């Protein structure tokens, strides 16, 4: 490692008793909104379910047990680009029959490194889980700047292009010249720019979505399937996109309430966990209460809901010409059946050097957490041809 690169330091954050006592006090003092009779989830988070979740958060949820589970992951913090970045760095199980591929996994919103906690061991030690030991990876899972335990930028928020630049520097710091990239949601965006701006270092890139469509040419050139997809994206934005409009334009307004009220924070996040997962309308078919609250508690204890939302504002300023660039690095997609705004194959072929596209039958936007075995197998299958042996 070059002498001017920072050395990753082991990192094991622990909440204080005072922080947890304050959280429980706020939960028990929640001032509840009214709701129309039988509104359910039709107008946003179901108040009845939220009450149940908050009561469990205050009097049943064991953060210390979740903290211990997370502490079993090999977690570090390292300074990159002037920011302290938190990451999981798990090396492939030894001995491996061939060199492991370094793989950086990037999360999105509303989550953090939490998204990938179930797949790390499946990817580093596939032989222990009934898969081929030759498919092992060195896995790197960082928190984006302003998410989880990574520092937020002191000034303007970073966009996905800048985050990709940080990840390239991070991989150099960890000793990886060549590596693979994968992600979903904002993580798909960041992985795309890793492939675009650092193509000489990225072996191949795997994504769970293609982002929102940007076309620089004539829409008449699109296939009927692409045109229908663009239409449905517009409908989805009108019915489900209010959160993103707030994040892009006035994130600090929402941040004031969400940073102060744990019940409000839970409402903001759990509604998306339900709407975007393959749960058939019952969020606890995809996540247990403990899993939901581990994700939400990470946001609460780190105070990062505002800085996380601000990344949307930064991305909104990315020039259209950047969004329209074609990815020439070999690209793969797993478009899970339960996800939102699912692009057609024709768009994937138009916008990337597509070598593999699948539509797994189960899982949604948070597939690495919802269906970890299925997601891990998707990554193994896609990257297998790129192993040098």
pLDDT 10s per residue in the chain (389 long)? 444 578 999 999 999 999 999 999 999 999 999 999 999 999 999 999 999 999 999 999 999 999 999 999 999 999 999 999 999 999 999 776 678 999 999 999 999 999 999 999 999 999 999 999 999 999 999 999 999 999 999 999 999 999 999 999 999 999 999 999 999 999 999 999 999 999 999 999 999 999 877 766 677 789 999 999 999 999 999 999 999 999 999 999 999 999 999 999 999 999 999 999 999 999 999 999 999 999 999 999 999 999 999 999 999 999 999 999 999 999 999 999 999 989 999 999 999 999 999 999 999 999 999 999 999 999 999 999 999 75
Residues paired with 354 in a beta bridge: 331
Q: Where are the domains of the chain?
A: 9-386
d(CA 273, CA 108): 12
Matching residue, tokens 């710091």: 173
d(CA 108, CA 260): 23
Reported CATH class of domain 9-386: alpha beta
Token pair belonging to 11: 């990192």
pLDDT of residue 261: 98
Token pair belonging to 124: 């580093």
95 preceded by a cis bond (ω within 30 of 0): yes
Which sequence positions are flagged as catalytic?
185, 312, 365
pLDDT of residue 94: 79
d(CA 382, CA 372): 15
């Amino acid at each position: 490692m070059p002498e001017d690169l920072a050395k990753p330091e082991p990192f094991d954050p622990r909440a204080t008793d005072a922080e947890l006592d304050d959280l429980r006090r706020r939960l028990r003092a929640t001032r509840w909104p009214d709701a129309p009779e039988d509104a359910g989830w039709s107008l946003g988070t179901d108040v009845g379910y939220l009450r149940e979740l908050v009561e469990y958060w205050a009097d049943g949820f064991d953060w210390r047990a979740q903290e211990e589970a997370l502490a079993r992951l090999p977690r570090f913090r390292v300074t990159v680009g002037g920011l302290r970045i938190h990451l999981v760095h798990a090396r492939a199980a030894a001995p491996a029959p061939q060199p492991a591929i370094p793989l950086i996994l990037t999360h999105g919103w509303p989550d953090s490194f939490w998204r990938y906690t179930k797949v790390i061991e499946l990817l580093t030690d596939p032989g222990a889980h009934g898969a081929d030991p030759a498919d092992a990876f060195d896995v790197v899972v960082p928190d984006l700047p302003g998410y989880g335990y990574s520092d937020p930028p002191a000034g303007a928020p970073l966009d996905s292009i800048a985050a990709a630049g940080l990840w390239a520097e991070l991989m150099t710091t960890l000793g990886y010249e060549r590596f693979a990239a994968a992600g979903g949601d904002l993580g798909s965006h960041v992985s795309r720019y890793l492939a675009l701006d650092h193509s000489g270092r990225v072996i191949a890139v795997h994504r769970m979505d293609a982002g929102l469509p940007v076309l620089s040419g004539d829409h008449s050139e699109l296939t009927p399937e692409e045109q229908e997809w663009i239409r449905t994206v517009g409908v989805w934005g009108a019915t489900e996109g209010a959160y993103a409009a707030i994040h892009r334009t006035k994130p600090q307004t929402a941040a004031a309430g969400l940073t102060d009220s744990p019940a409000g924070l839970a409402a903001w996040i759990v509604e998306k966990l339900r709407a975007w997962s393959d749960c058939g309308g019952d969020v606890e078919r995809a996540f247990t209460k403990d899993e939901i609250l581990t994700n939400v508690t990470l946001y609460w204890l780190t105070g990062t809901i505002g800085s996380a939302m601000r990344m949307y504002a930064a991305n909104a300023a990315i020039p259209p010409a950047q969004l329209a660039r074609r990815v020439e690095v070999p690209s793969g997609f797993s478009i899970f059946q339960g996800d939102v705004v699912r692009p057609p194959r024709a768009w994937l072929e138009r916008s990337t050097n597509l070598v593999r596209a699948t539509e797994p039958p189960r899982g949604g936007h948070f597939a690495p957490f919802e269906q970890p075995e299925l997601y891990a197998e998707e990554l193994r299958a896609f990257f297998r041809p790129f192993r040098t042996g």
